[in-house]
Structure 1
Amino acid sequence: MEGAWRKVRRALGLRLCVHAPRVGGCERRAPAGVGGCRRDVAVTVAASAAEGESGPITPADALRRSTSRGRSSSSSKQGKCAICFATMRSGHGQALFTAECSHMFHFQCISSNVKHGNYVCPVCRAKWKEIPCRSLSSNSPAGRIGINQRSPQQDPLMALNRQVPNRRRDARRLRTPEPADYNDDEPLQHKEAFDNLNFGSSRTAGISSYPEFLAVPQSSSIDGFDILIHVKAPTASPDHVTVSLANESSVRSTSRAPVDLITVLDVSGSMAGTKLALLKLSMGFVVQHLGPSDRLSVIAFSSTARRLFPLRRMSHHGRQQALQKINSLGAGGGTNIADALKKAMKVIEDRSYKNSVCSIVLLSDGQDSYNISSNVQGTSADHRPLVPSSIINDERNMVPLHAFGFGADHDSDTLHSIAEASGGTFSFIEDEGVMQDAFAQCIGGLLSVAVREMRLSMECVDPGVQLCSIRCGSYPSKVARDGRNGSVDIGHLYADEERDILLAVTIPKSREQTSLLRVACAYRDPVTNETIKIQGDEVKIKRPTSIVSEPVSIEVDRERNRIQAANSIESARAAAERGTLSEAVTILEDCRRVLSESFASQSGDRLCMALDAELREMQERMANRQLYEASGRAYMLSGLSSHSWQRATARGDSTDSTTLVYSYQTPSMVHMLQDSQNHSWRSLMQGNSPLSRQ
């Protein structure tokens, strides 16, 4: 036995103290986190004919299980890996690694972590002097299965662990020829599997109207009388069904539209270590929450971009393959966002089959180093080379791209511009620990699309009434030349999502009740593809003979406050980009004062309080140029994106800020966000889980 251990020690090429473990567990000499960590590192080879656990360990499983590591000593005593939480004992064909800080892992689990340059213990954050950087020798006793004797098909993670980081090899891998056409997407789920299911919903979108005042004197004519049009998407169906498929035993599904999702992931050198690990965790969460009717394709990019796999249904087999590909990602190289977006759009344009909902999710922590060109003064950049022409030119069939800027070094201006051009949102992830939460909130919306291609139309009724303007953020709108009608293209809405459109009309003098507008909307049901038309009630006002003292509609006042706050944020950002931070702070301060004097604010409206808190946060992030560059700009842009589309975005270090009560979150988003937080490694590390108290 002693000779076998010496062979192991020589094969590893490490200065390790090697000893055989006691039966049923592994000896530990120091508790986790103690400053005086022992220096000897134990490596145990458990060799037998048993193949061990089958199937890949998902990023979510690996990082989530490792988060009980604050109390991992008890787990090690029970013979469990501190990363994947799988059993560590003889007879499972697994090598065991005990670090100098006394934390224990499966050899393949920890070597996969350190092979990308992360030499810090994932449990206690101690820096290691000795790391597992080579696989064990293939020499093993006769009749036993050695570690290196397992094929990549038997253990994909072990195959990855045997790969020594090699920049040239990685570059060759990125240059591997790809198909000329991306028409190799997996066919959609068989329609007959759902023929007997009632996916339709009796619920429809709703329209409400709120005039600024309910009565206007007969002798008064008003230019710029405000009317709020409120639209709400159908409510999410709580019903779940079980669908039996030919190749799957049972699948849990919901009465919602299936999604084609393309994720574009930055794996440049700056993503190495913890960032990449958390990205894999977040993608694991996404994969686990996609249904068998949803399809996923992943584009990874650094100096060049590559498609990891075509659009594939997230059946059980599809999930396993997707997780294996995501697990195999390594970090290195530059940042070529344009190449990645072109491949993402090619996946969408070349697909042979189409789900009714399609979207792109882009995450980057750096600045494009290949396609951005600044002007002569160097004060602004041209983002057009980054945006595929198909995104800009096809307004009716626009595919929303939701961009996520990660950390202090990303180019928030570029990502915001890309998202804005496509009709998507920009989110700012300041704290790496909430990356999964940000993804969860976005996916919660995409998996609940209840309305497609919605168009809101309005028509003046009384001959003297004219439509002056439409304030609807970034949504395309138009007013007829004669001012008699107008429209707004809202596009798709998530279940329970709401939109507020503020109209301004001209009211003539009149002795009778005045009918101002007729409002209607039309949209497609994303499940049935049926066109649904809804007619709203006429907007009318009374015409008394004398002036009547009445308060302004709180709904109208609230929306005016929100629009004014968004305009002030845009003006403050422009001032900050000119280098006048003091002017930017003054603009926000003036807006806060105006909001505080509004009727809604004095009535205790929660939205006004939330707007004030948001503006105050932005002022604080403009305290100096360094702070503004690091987080202020990105925080403001994510706020502008949220207001312009009236859709939830992640801001700063949290997606669940108590101050942002109007954050446009839908119930589906909240549910997905809660699910992410319940399985968050961060909550475990903070001791808020029973696992961390073991």
Structure 2
Amino acid sequence: MHPTKLQNKQQSPRNHVADNDDSPPPSERRSDAALLSLPGDWTSAPTTPSSNRLRLSKSLSRSASKKTCSICLATMRRGDGQAIFMAECSHSFHFHCIASNVKHGNQICPVCRAKWKEIPLQGPTLEPPKGKARTNSLDWHQNNDFMTVIRRLPPARSNSVRNAAPLFRAPDPAVFNDDESLDHEIDSTEKKVSDGDDGRRKVTVLTYTEVPSVAKTSVSDSFTVLVHLKAPLSNSWHNAAMSTKITQTPRAPVDLVTVLDISGSMAGTKLALLKRAMGFVIQNLGPNDRLAVIAFSSTARRLFPLWRMSESGRQQALQAVNSLVANGGTNIAEGLRKGAKIMEDRRESNPVASIILLSDGQDTYTVNSNAGSHNYQLLLPLSIRPDEASGFKIPVHAFGFGADHDASSMHSISEISGGTFSFIETESVIQDAFAQCIGGLLSVVVKALSVKIECVHPSVRLGSLKAGSYRNRILSNQRIGTIDVGDLYADEERDFLLSMNVPSETSSNETSLLKVTCVYNDPLTKESVSLEAKEVRIERTDLARREDVSIEVDRQHNRIRAAEAMAQARTAAESRDLASAVSILENVRKALSTTVSAKSHDRLCISLDAELKEMQERMASRHVYEASGRAYILSGLSSHSWQRATARGDSMDGSSLVQAYQTPSMVEMVTRSQATLLATPSAQRLLRPSWSFASQPKPR
């Protein structure tokens, strides 16, 4: 039977879906899920038998006009130009939100978890052949933005194969060695791109002395030299911000394991937005990248094995993530154990590997919250803890979600493993936070970078290395120092301050202080790269003269001074002395304002001051500190200690230092994330889909 013609949604409200006489009684209503995927290959709705009705919500009743869509959180109002779907369990959603949700196999209400007997399908928006006008095959009104077909679900199929997108509900295997094989062939054209300009693919090393010259007769015991490193540009990012798929230019492929909290506190909006954020991650991984998903609550389960994100892999990953249901406790240690086991058991390895951990609660199974001190190291499996021989193994990038997560444990996990800690204060920022993280991971151009500093002049000795959380050491003779930097994202920068003595010099017009060398691996070519030694010299003059302090050196002194003040303030705050904590931050703000770089209106100094002020405000009371101050400071410390961008607070915008470490690839991925969401001036900016079924072109 030919489907019935749908009336325009602006007509009489009598046609509201709720008027259906065949809706099951409340006793039969039961279910999960949420908006997940980006615009994809829309499936045309099939022609249905007469018993399966076509429905379109025309407007909301007076009582429903103030409701919000549980998926996108936007208000559902009469006459706002969007169709409303009311499910058989009486919960209402924007049609385009729920249609995207059920498209990937969900049969459950995101609000009450009732299992639906009928699901909405997106109506066909057919792309016409070239030279022909668009046709409306079902004779629907052309000004309808959304159309819906209600289709009765068939019985569940008892068996499935990989092409049918299994949801992996079977018990986890003893060994996770079922990772999908790698295929990293690069054609001749791509090889030319990657091997073309060798100079542009090398790390840049620059050095700065605190002053350009020192008098010959002068002696200094604490002379500062800045070593500045900058990673090469990536070939993978060329105006790709608005494209629907990541560019195919060669880059180092990634093995990514996401460990996701699905405890009871994640139910509702949190889980819906987590699914949408994971959908963004999945859609932006390339065919050589591999993804695995661990879901944890009271226990942990591998939801999806380490498989390549080909077209079929993406669809299966989307369906697996969309099957998540929130319940139970919070066992972070078990989630990380399984995530680490996937990395440990895999038969093959991509050049870049990382774990993303997200939780909104506190581990109640491994760490005793009532104990006087917390051994957060117990949360991290031995297999991915760093050791003296190999250093960091698999970094864990931790995301603390909301006001109730354990920021101290999440920060410790990331710090021990070599990852970063981000504080997602507002639920709406989760997708942008994930986008920034994967924007970096998908642009790694340097692996296992090691810096060696050797004294040249026989009387020069190293005093200290200011390297944040990077493992560094000075040999007992104080003539050689090393810094293990590890991986660098494209265009990422690192700054390290070295302190040493400068002896008197009577026989020469310059003194050779240091020699800096770097060794690292190129993750794309898998070649070892050794950079030519960079020698640091200081001019020696006959008479002492006033020298201008290097802005570059002064700027980094300010950064380190601010980070040290943050750590001291946090210690005072944890001792319940908020007044002292605020005073520490205020004093360092005053000190920074008198420096050379601050007086020259250096952008880094301006953002440091803004960040310190924000931390002061988040220590206004014990309640404010517990709710957001601790997490905000720890995320800041993580960012400074690794000199890497973290998400902080309730926005990815603004002038805070969180943006100072952003790389071009991070910025572009965040821009891409925001382009998928409606840009409105209201607080709903990051919560509402930025596409509509009727207006968007069919993806290529």
TM-score tier by shorter-chain length is: 0.7 to 0.9
Counterpart of 1:568, as a letter, is A
Residue 389 of structure 1: CA displacement?
1.2
The counterpart of 1:209, out of the listed 197, 204, 207, is 207
Output the CA distance in 2 between the equivalents of 1:239 and 1:181: 37
1:187-206 aligned within 5 A? 187-191=181-185, 197-198=191-192, 199-200=194-195, 202=198, 203=200, 204-206=202-204
Secondary structure of the residue aligned to 1:74 is coil
The counterpart of 1:436, out of the listed 417, 431, 450, is 431
Distance 1:653 1:136, change over 3 A: closer
Distance 1:303 1:579, change over 3 A: same
1:177 paired residue number: 171
1:639 paired residue number: 636
> 1:12–1:135: 8 Å Cα contact kept in structure 2?
no
Counterpart of 2:675, as a letter, is N
1:338 paired residue number: 333
Secondary structure of the residue aligned to 2:543 is coil
> 1:70–1:692: 8 Å Cα contact kept in structure 2?
no
The counterpart of 1:12, out of the listed 24, 35, 45, is 24
Distance 1:500 1:192, change over 3 A: closer
> 1:338–1:386: 8 Å Cα contact kept in structure 2?
yes
Secondary structure of the residue aligned to 1:647 is coil
2:474 paired residue number: 479
> 2:519–2:529: 8 Å Cα contact kept in structure 1?
yes
Once the two structures are superposed, what CA deviation does each residue of 1:3-24 show, in whole Å capped at 9, x if it has no partner? xx999846611499xxx99x99
1:273 paired residue number: 268
Q: TM-score, normalised by structure 2?
A: 0.79
Counterpart of 2:219, as a letter, is S
2:409 paired residue number: 414
Residue 148 of structure 2 is aligned to residue 148 of structure 1? no
The counterpart of 1:186, out of the listed 173, 180, 183, is 180
Distance 1:28 1:553, change over 3 A: same
> 2:54–2:150: 8 Å Cα contact kept in structure 1?
no
> 1:237–1:255: 8 Å Cα contact kept in structure 2?
yes
Output the CA distance in 2 between the equivalents of 1:539 and 1:566: 27
> 2:216–2:543: 8 Å Cα contact kept in structure 1?
yes
1:92-111 aligned within 5 A? none
Distance 1:518 1:72, change over 3 A: farther
1:163 paired residue number: none
2:56 paired residue number: 26
Output the CA distance in 2 between the equivalents of 1:427 and 1:692: 34
Once the two structures are superposed, what CA deviation does each residue of 1:606-652 show, in whole Å capped at 9, x if it has no partner? 11111111000000000000000000000000000000000000001
Which sections of structure 1, spanning at least 5 residues, go unmatched? 40-61, 77-81, 84-94, 120-130, 138-143, 161-169, 242-249
Residue 466 of structure 1: CA displacement?
1.1
Counterpart of 1:569, as a letter, is M
Output the CA distance in 2 between the equivalents of 1:423 and 1:560: 23
Residue 657 of structure 2 is aligned to residue 664 of structure 1? no
Once the two structures are superposed, what CA deviation does each residue of 1:638-679 show, in whole Å capped at 9, x if it has no partner? 000000000000001112222337520000000000011111
Residue 290 of structure 1: CA displacement?
0.3
Counterpart of 2:213, as a letter, is A
1:221 paired residue number: 219
Counterpart of 1:147, as a letter, is R
Counterpart of 2:423, as a letter, is F
1:118-129 aligned within 5 A? 118=111
Output the CA distance in 1 between the equivalents of 2:107 and 2:381: 37
Aligned length: 606
Counterpart of 1:591, as a letter, is V
Output the CA distance in 2 between the equivalents of 1:223 and 1:25: 81
> 1:299–1:340: 8 Å Cα contact kept in structure 2?
yes
Once the two structures are superposed, what CA deviation does each residue of 1:274-328 show, in whole Å capped at 9, x if it has no partner? 1001000000000000000000000000000000121100000100110110010
The counterpart of 2:367, out of the listed 358, 365, 372, is 372
Whichever structure has more helix as a proportion of its residues is 1
> 1:116–1:273: 8 Å Cα contact kept in structure 2?
no
Secondary structure of the residue aligned to 2:403 is coil
Secondary structure of the residue aligned to 2:534 is coil
1:381 paired residue number: 374
Residue 372 of structure 1: CA displacement?
0.6
More divergent stretch after superposition (251-260 vs 331-340): 251-260
Output the CA distance in 2 between the equivalents of 1:413 and 1:107: 37
Secondary structure of the residue aligned to 2:365 is coil
Residue 541 of structure 1: CA displacement?
1.0
1:576 paired residue number: 573
Output the CA distance in 1 between the equivalents of 2:237 and 2:94: 45
The counterpart of 2:609, out of the listed 609, 612, 617, is 612
Output the CA distance in 1 between the equivalents of 2:663 and 2:453: 26
> 1:210–1:556: 8 Å Cα contact kept in structure 2?
yes
> 1:28–1:102: 8 Å Cα contact kept in structure 2?
no
Distance 1:603 1:7, change over 3 A: closer
Percent of aligned pairs with the same amino acid:
48
More divergent stretch after superposition (650-659 vs 398-407): 650-659
Residue 117 of structure 2 is aligned to residue 135 of structure 1? yes
Residue 255 of structure 1: CA displacement?
1.7
1:502-651 aligned within 5 A? 502-511=497-506, 512=508, 513-651=510-648
Output the CA distance in 1 between the equivalents of 2:500 and 2:96: 69
1:306-345 aligned within 5 A? 306-345=301-340
2:459 paired residue number: 464
Once the two structures are superposed, what CA deviation does each residue of 1:110-161 show, in whole Å capped at 9, x if it has no partner? 8999957736xxxxxxxxxxx9654259xxxxxx9961336559999xx99x
2:397 paired residue number: 402
1:492 paired residue number: 487
1:74 paired residue number: 81
Output the CA distance in 2 between the equivalents of 1:289 and 1:102: 27
Once the two structures are superposed, what CA deviation does each residue of 1:169-218 show, in whole Å capped at 9, x if it has no partner? x9xx98x5321111110000153667963333522110000001111111
More divergent stretch after superposition (533-542 vs 481-490): 533-542
Counterpart of 2:230, as a letter, is K
Distance 1:106 1:350, change over 3 A: closer
Counterpart of 1:672, as a letter, is M
Output the CA distance in 1 between the equivalents of 2:278 and 2:691: 25
Counterpart of 1:181, as a letter, is V
Output the CA distance in 2 between the equivalents of 1:662 and 1:136: 46
Output the CA distance in 1 between the equivalents of 2:246 and 2:617: 49
CA RMSD of aligned residues (A): 3.9
Residue 463 of structure 1: CA displacement?
1.1
> 2:639–2:658: 8 Å Cα contact kept in structure 1?
no
Distance 1:110 1:402, change over 3 A: closer
Distance 1:374 1:280, change over 3 A: closer
Once the two structures are superposed, what CA deviation does each residue of 1:547-575 show, in whole Å capped at 9, x if it has no partner? 11111101000000000000000000000
Output the CA distance in 2 between the equivalents of 1:542 and 1:108: 70
> 1:452–1:524: 8 Å Cα contact kept in structure 2?
yes
Distance 1:301 1:661, change over 3 A: closer
Secondary structure of the residue aligned to 1:441 is helix
Output the CA distance in 2 between the equivalents of 1:266 and 1:277: 13
Q: TM-score, normalised by structure 1?
A: 0.79
Output the CA distance in 1 between the equivalents of 2:630 and 2:351: 35
Secondary structure of the residue aligned to 1:658 is coil
Output the CA distance in 1 between the equivalents of 2:670 and 2:81: 30
2:137 paired residue number: none
Distance 1:516 1:36, change over 3 A: closer
Residue 27 of structure 1: CA displacement?
5.8
Residue 381 of structure 1: CA displacement?
1.5
Residue 490 of structure 1: CA displacement?
0.1
> 2:676–2:691: 8 Å Cα contact kept in structure 1?
no
Counterpart of 2:227, as a letter, is I
Output the CA distance in 1 between the equivalents of 2:626 and 2:363: 17
> 1:30–1:102: 8 Å Cα contact kept in structure 2?
no
> 1:441–1:669: 8 Å Cα contact kept in structure 2?
yes
